[in-house]
Structure 1
Amino acid sequence: MRAKVLFVWHMHQPFYYDPVMKEMPLPWVRLHGIRGYNDLPYMADRFPQVRTTLNFVPSLLDQMELLSSGKVRDSYHELTLSEASSLSLEERVFLLRNFFSCPFESMIKPYPRYAALWARVYGQPAHSPDQWQKMASGMTAQDFLDLQVWFNLTWFGYAARKNHPEIDEWIRKGSRFSEEDKKGVLELQMRIVSGLVPLYRRLHDAGRIEISTSPYFHPILPLLISSRFARRPRPELSLPEEFSWPEDARDQLKRALEKQESLWGKPISGVWPSEGSVCPELIEMGSTMGIAWMASDEDVLKNSRPSDKWRDLSPYQTYRIESLSGSPRLIFRDRGLSDRIGFLYARYNGTEAALDLISNMERIEQAANRGDHPAVIPIILDGENPWESYPDGGYLFLNSLFERLEHHPRLQAVTVTEAIQEVPAKPLAEISSGSWINHDFNIWIGHHEDNKAWNYLGKTRKFLDEELRKGVHSEETIEDALREMYAAEGSDWFWWFGEDFETVQSADFDRLFRVHQQNVYRLLGKDVPLYLHEPVQVGGPDISANQPVDYVQPVIDGLVTHYYEWTGAGMFDAVRTQGSMFLGDPLIQKLYYGFDSERFYLRIDLDPGLLVAETEGQMVTVRLHNREEMEWQLPLRSGALDVPATGRTPDTKVLWACKKVGELALYLKDLGLLPGEWFYLTVELSNGQSLLDQCPRGRALPVRVPDERFAQSVWRV
């Protein structure tokens, strides 16, 4: 009996679309749509005997349909449409910073003109805002036109290139593109994206592929059921306030099944839970919904409780929970083989990589095949991200692999549903709680940024529940608000919080996470809470600021008492270095900050016009982030007063004065801050529920508490 090779390609993007503003700020649905989302079905069509499973997140399919309708274009598409000769300086800088967003070795270096443009921009030290503008001003309209074309051209995958010879004609042209060339590239992209869902339907109807699903907006379902489940694999983990909405987990799964059935005309039977995240409660939920199979990672299996009847926990078998009537069949990905495709084979010759994978599968088949039934070899991984790093988008590797699998005497590539119909299930006493990454949930919860985000989410979900109970909103409004809530529950936002992963677009993901929650309030006719205007992330790229070099002891009177009062303090100049999160000159112009041996001091220089007349309701909010978040809301009126902190902090008070400037002081011991520790500072100006300014914009200012070395370095006369 031939071993059953189960390829499950997971297709997924965050939900970029903002239905209130009708915007899609990032281009990745479109660009992956002309590459991995198009290439894999092309291979499935070429090799009908190699049957695979394509796993689609429904919110990705929604975005494909939106783009196909022509009603929505992502912002990168819009900017590409702009004539290069008419680009503003700000738009030129945006192109330079964002239109090289692809791997250099595989997608830039092979194309001389694109590589030359890259070298002009990135072949020198990091740029300040002034340097970016100077560089953008020194490049020609033709430079920017070529950059617009190349960023879009390099994303075409091998399926597009084989089906559309004009792509190779543009590549051969290489430079001095015309506006007509650019228009042609974009029109072809949209034709390909519009044809994706019909392509999947044709292959599905023909039995070439199986289609499975993930929950609708790609949430980590165990954490929706209860965020406390994160402590099952990691008991020591620091957690936010409990988030427990099992009805959301069920609805995200139910809606996913309904979406897939409506698209393909028949029910689907399989689920890849987001990031392979499972728990016993989720498997039980799946059993009540008629799900035939679910999948996770082999490390989750290793940590599960075996049945007394079958104690051999091998990933090359299928399982069911023995005490659960109607248990879905469970399969567990071979981590080593899956990761070879995802992270290793891009460095191999494609044919050699295929032979290596075949050899490894043959070894598994020989060791795992039982006399009474064949082994299963589950290979589950992203369907889009690996191929960016392959020099040919993975064509030679997949073509060589599928050629060998078509008639292999010991290996047979089949869909998961085909396999579970032939291979009997082994009993499993209980599945462990965890994901494919380190068999835990630490990527999405536990870091102080993750926990802050979960607290935001919990507040929004409680607000939504209260509004739904009032019974005053229309069904359409409720549906729109629920979709935005579910979009905010997606795993992608939490992926980029914390220190595990970095991207130049982290601020966009942070903003989208909050935008979906803001929309819940807007759709229900309520003011957006101020905290949802504050970025979750408190780190990020270095902020141009001077750190303190000496102790300070200012008089807290709201005045610059004398010239040397703040000498030695750190300083952040918002007028000179502020980002483009908001338009207009900053109202918070400078921050000075420093210490003596007992206290932290902060001076806030505001636009002088704000202090001429004391406007009722105007507040300055100071936030400090360390192990906990501390917050003070300070009225813009003259005088010094004690202001208690808000949030999950001990009772602390701050001395505050505001006349010509704002000045405050607080004791370090009240904050629990230790010498040498870093904390992060943000200052906001608001009027009621309207955010007027934030400093720094979109980020937080890192500040270090002086330690013994700082004290020793201070020179005294």
Structure 2
Amino acid sequence: MIFYWHMHQPFYRDADSGRYHLPWVYLHAIKDYTDMAEIISQLPGARAVINYVPSLTAQIEDYAAHLRDFLNGDQDQLNDPLLAALADQHGQYDAAGRAFLLESCFRLNHERNMHRYPAYSLLWQMAEHAKSHDATGYLGNSYFTDLVTWYHLAWLGETVRQHNFVARRLIEKAKDFTYQDRRDLITLIASLLDKIPATHRKLVEDGKIELTTTPYAHPIIPLMLDFNTAHETVADALLPAEPYPGGRERAEEHIAMARTHHEQVFGQTPSGCWPAEGAVSDATLGLLGKADFQWCATGEAVLHHSLKYNLREQQGNRDLYHPWLVGKGKEQITCFFRDDRLSDLLGFEYSRWHTQDAVNNFMHELAGIHHRTQGMDAPVVTIIMDGENAWEHYHENALPFLTRLYQSIAENDDYNLTTCSDYLAAHPTTDKLDHLVSGSWVYGNLSTWIGDTAKTRGWELLIEAKHAYDKHIDALSPEQQEAAKEQLRICEGSDWCWWFGDYNPGAAVRDFDSLYRRHLGKLYQLLGCPVPVSLHASISHGGGDAEGGGTMRRGGADS
């Protein structure tokens, strides 16, 4: 059994001001990254593989450094508007600040993380009543200091809320939070952020986890190399009229920078790589193998397409439960494939179940796989999923569920929790896949990032910016070149096109659409070029009601 948790956020930081447009890096860090590490640390039999994308760890380090400087008195402003509101000494906010807090401080799972606290629930009820009567101006300063404090308390990891003295004291106090209360909370947040690299290094040393990486800014490498890979699974996908300029060179840079950054943060060379979104092609895996990665992983449907039959309808799905060799010579690499059914049960279904019922069902599913794979040499079940967005939908941020799940597997003699590298050390891969059909962990295709008008428009704007980059980069000074290179890497990330589409919520689409165009505009500025008028027009408007708010997608359309 391998649990593979993927931790990722795109670049939210503004290149000009250094301020963050969205808070998801530090909020997930103090909740999900902290909880997952603590759960694995405390349970004797728990093991896992955890993937950290460089775009995420770079921002965690930036937040931690900025908070240290603030607390030490080396700077008087925080670079995130929510943290700045929490740190406001006088707790006095202007009309724009109040509107921002009313919009921002209820962005979490209401049932699981807001209404469980009566004082926080009351703040929401007051806001709804005030809005309905056009009376938000009557909400006083103490309302907003309590609101921003509760928002951060509700985003703390469950292990922190249960065991940390500051968190428990403030939750018990419930209201009338002072500046010292808020400063204590900021100190706690800074401490949690600061501990993340060291905590994970210790878990590696203890043999509890394996750490992996993703190409630097989370680009969809198959598309950077060849847009036509999208046609392998979606024949009528709308594609840009020209290829991405210098795509292979760009992909190689993201891969090389990922290895370097991972070594700097975690002090070890990663053996495994999670290609962004599990997006793969023969050429992509060739680059990973050439870069000395020993293994990678992707979605189950990619294997369906590559073998040209539905695995679940033949041989009890046995071919899913062993890794495959892809490529030849120095480009050869082992590929693990995600069990879509089990992974999606964790990601989307079990949060609605009673904890013990969910664990029992998972163990029943696992027993069925064990029965069907009898006679195989070392069958392996690989659970791969978003390690950050699923848990807020669970009771107590999934702490009871994950604890019981790990314990149930570890205590069963039929199963062995391991990591991908440890598995391969004991069971070298022998089965070879002649051709890997291009696709991703979402439906086994690339349609989440290209193929409709909005997503393809996103790529066209990037192509235009890359042409400007190629034309002007050599005329810049070394320092200017480095700034422009970093900005281009940010623009090449996958998250922008992920959100384009009418099936996603309008507010989220608006956020990411605007941020993508700001990033592209900044690239032009760094190149000394005027910002094109085309970047003033929205790419997508959303308006849908995607499952999980659009932050996650199922691996299979029918899973």
TM-score (norm 2): 0.89
> Quick one: higher RCO (CA 8 Å, sep 6+), 1 or 2?
2
* CA 526–168 in structure 1, closer or farther in 2 if over 3 Å, else same: same
Corresponding position of 1:525: 528
* CA 123–317 in structure 1, closer or farther in 2 if over 3 Å, else same: farther
* CA 230–84 in structure 1, closer or farther in 2 if over 3 Å, else same: farther
Deviates most, 218-227 or 321-330: 321-330
CA distance in 2, matches of 1:157, 1:282: 36
Is the Cα–Cα contact under 8 Å of residues 306 and 313 in structure 1 kept in the other structure? Answer: no
Which structure carries more helix by proportion?
Answer: 2
CA distance in 1, matches of 2:319, 2:452: 33
> Which of 3, 27, 37 is the aligned partner of 1:7?
3
Per-residue deviation, 1:360 = 1.4
* Partner secondary structure for residue 34 of structure 1: helix
Pair 1:171-2:190 in alignment: no
* Partner secondary structure for residue 413 of structure 1: coil
What is the percentage of aligned positions where both structures have the same residue?
30
Provide Cα deviations, 1:651-707, integer angstroms capped at 9, x if missing partner.
xxxxxxxxxxxxxxxxxxxxxxxxxxxxxxxxxxxxxxxxxxxxxxxxxxxxxxxxx
Pair 1:118-2:124 in alignment: yes
Pair 1:190-2:190 in alignment: yes
CA distance in 2, matches of 1:52, 1:360: 19
Corresponding position of 1:94: 100
Corresponding position of 2:235: 235
Corresponding position of 2:223: 223
Give the letter aligned to residue 258 of structure 2.
A
CA distance in 2, matches of 1:274, 1:369: 33
Corresponding position of 2:379: 375
Corresponding position of 2:303: 301
Unaligned runs of 5+ in 2: 70-77, 545-559
> Which of 28, 37, 50 is the aligned partner of 1:54?
50
Per-residue deviation, 1:500 = 2.8
Give the letter aligned to residue 467 of structure 1.
H
CA distance in 1, matches of 2:527, 2:468: 10
Is the Cα–Cα contact under 8 Å of residues 47 and 209 in structure 2 kept in the other structure? Answer: yes
Which structure carries more strand by proportion?
Answer: 1
CA distance in 1, matches of 2:135, 2:415: 56
After superposition, residues 376-415 of structure 1 pair within 5 angstroms as 376-415=380-419
Per-residue deviation, 1:139 = 1.3
* CA 84–347 in structure 1, closer or farther in 2 if over 3 Å, else same: farther
Give the letter aligned to residue 45 of structure 2.
Q
CA distance in 2, matches of 1:329, 1:113: 52
Corresponding position of 1:160: 160
CA distance in 2, matches of 1:179, 1:447: 50
Is the Cα–Cα contact under 8 Å of residues 223 and 229 in structure 2 kept in the other structure? Answer: yes
CA distance in 1, matches of 2:321, 2:290: 26
CA distance in 2, matches of 1:446, 1:258: 33
CA distance in 1, matches of 2:370, 2:90: 57
Moved over 6 A (4+): 310-313
CA distance in 1, matches of 2:497, 2:90: 36
* Partner secondary structure for residue 475 of structure 2: coil
Superposition RMSD in Å = 2.2
Corresponding position of 2:496: 493
* Partner secondary structure for residue 3 of structure 2: strand
Per-residue deviation, 1:188 = 0.9
CA distance in 2, matches of 1:216, 1:252: 5
Pair 1:284-2:286 in alignment: yes
Pair 1:246-2:248 in alignment: yes
Corresponding position of 2:23: 27
Corresponding position of 2:479: 476
Provide Cα deviations, 1:534-556, integer angstroms capped at 9, x if missing partner.
33225659xxxxxxxxxxxxxxx
CA distance in 2, matches of 1:264, 1:97: 36
CA distance in 1, matches of 2:106, 2:533: 35
Per-residue deviation, 1:84 = 6.7
Per-residue deviation, 1:271 = 0.8
Per-residue deviation, 1:49 = 3.0
* CA 85–261 in structure 1, closer or farther in 2 if over 3 Å, else same: closer
Corresponding position of 2:320: 315
CA distance in 1, matches of 2:380, 2:45: 17
Corresponding position of 1:557: none
After superposition, residues 639-654 of structure 1 pair within 5 angstroms as none
Per-residue deviation, 1:521 = 2.0
Per-residue deviation, 1:123 = 6.2
Corresponding position of 1:151: 151
> Which of 259, 262, 280 is the aligned partner of 1:260?
262
Per-residue deviation, 1:532 = 2.2
Is the Cα–Cα contact under 8 Å of residues 362 and 411 in structure 1 kept in the other structure? Answer: no
Is the Cα–Cα contact under 8 Å of residues 287 and 331 in structure 2 kept in the other structure? Answer: no
CA distance in 1, matches of 2:541, 2:104: 22
After superposition, residues 441-456 of structure 1 pair within 5 angstroms as 441-456=446-461
* Partner secondary structure for residue 416 of structure 2: strand
Per-residue deviation, 1:389 = 0.8
CA distance in 1, matches of 2:272, 2:153: 35
TM-score (norm 1): 0.70
Is the Cα–Cα contact under 8 Å of residues 297 and 334 in structure 1 kept in the other structure? Answer: yes
Provide Cα deviations, 1:8-35, integer angstroms capped at 9, x if missing partner.
1000011111232211121111111111
Corresponding position of 2:62: 66
Per-residue deviation, 1:120 = 2.9
Provide Cα deviations, 1:93-152, integer angstroms capped at 9, x if missing partner.
11111110001110111111211222233469xx6xxx79x3320212222121111111
Give the letter aligned to residue 420 of structure 1.
L
Provide Cα deviations, 1:416-438, integer angstroms capped at 9, x if missing partner.
11112223421111111111111
CA distance in 2, matches of 1:421, 1:291: 14
Aligned length: 526
Is the Cα–Cα contact under 8 Å of residues 102 and 108 in structure 1 kept in the other structure? Answer: yes
After superposition, residues 428-443 of structure 1 pair within 5 angstroms as 428-443=433-448
Per-residue deviation, 1:80 = 2.5
Corresponding position of 2:75: none
Deviates most, 99-108 or 136-145: 136-145
Pair 1:416-2:420 in alignment: yes
* CA 313–464 in structure 1, closer or farther in 2 if over 3 Å, else same: farther
